[in-house]
Chains A and B, each alone.
Chain A
Amino acid sequence: MHIDPLEKKWAYVALAMVGLFVGIISIDALFHGINAPSNVETIDPASLHLSGEFAEDNLGVQVDDSGNVIVRVVAGRYGFYPKQITVPAGTPLTFRWSSMDVIHGIHLPMTNMSTMILPGYIAQLKTTFPKPGTYPLLCNEYCGMGHDHMWGSVTVVAKEHWTAPIKTASKKEGGSHE
């Protein structure tokens, strides 16, 4: 098959660009631990509010025995529980989300936080918010007639202005790993 030399050169340029981008992403994935979130834990959506980590008393921001900041939020038509959370900036955070009814999603504009929340599963994301500010927390999966009213907010404060919640969550996690 004849390919014009100029066309070949354009193809080489495109391939070199793809190679560069894939190379950068691969190096970050392999050596800097930047990977797409992957977590498979199941939970019974009908009873998650009765006991375990998603019981009402355990929701929100908590610091576990190892000093890790963990945020647990339940999504349900049409709200996030708790609706407002405050976390420290520049600190590794572990977010654990679960749905009590249908598929929901979360999106925090101006951050990289975005995921689906499937009923029966725990969606876990680890991230750090570098800049203090108030970020809207939006449901980005259509979940019913009240979908557009389903929102909350995440307030990120400077680490020195953040006070860790007094209560710590040392309870056994509600989900089961698979």
Chain B
Amino acid sequence: MSELSEEEREKIIKSSPVGTWALMLIVGAGMVAAWLFLYYGVFLPRGAID
């Protein structure tokens, strides 16, 4: 476990959470892409049911 100074710790806490943004983007884009693939790539080409 790394030892952070109080100054470094404060800087990290106050900085923008880049990792969280990246995770949010990856998860969101992944879920949207998966849904669009299932809807347009699998469901509709099989013939919609009415």
Contact = CB atoms under 8 A, between A and B. Distances in A.
Interface of A: 6, 9-10, 13, 16-17, 20-21, 24, 33-37, 110-114, 125-130
B50 A130 contact: no
A13 B28 contact: yes
Interface string B36-50: 000100011111111
Contacts of B49: 36-37, 112-114, 125-127
Q: Secondary structure at chain B's binding surface: helix, strand, loop or mixed?
A: helix
A112 B46 contact: yes
B48 A112 contact: yes
19 contacts: A6-B17, A13-B28, A17-B35, A20-B32, A21-B35, A34-B50, A36-B49, A37-B49, A111-B46, A112-B47, A112-B48, A112-B49, A113-B49, A114-B49, A126-B50, A127-B50, A128-B47, A129-B47, A130-B46
A75 to B, nearest CB: 18
Contacts of B5: none
Given A9-B24, A13-B28, A112 B50 contact: no
Contact of A112 (B17, B31, B43): B43
B46 A33 contact: no
A125 B43 CA distance: 16
A13 B30 CA distance: 12
Nearest to B35: A21
A125 B35 CA distance: 24
A168 B20 CA distance: 64
B24 A10 contact: yes
Contacts of B43: 112
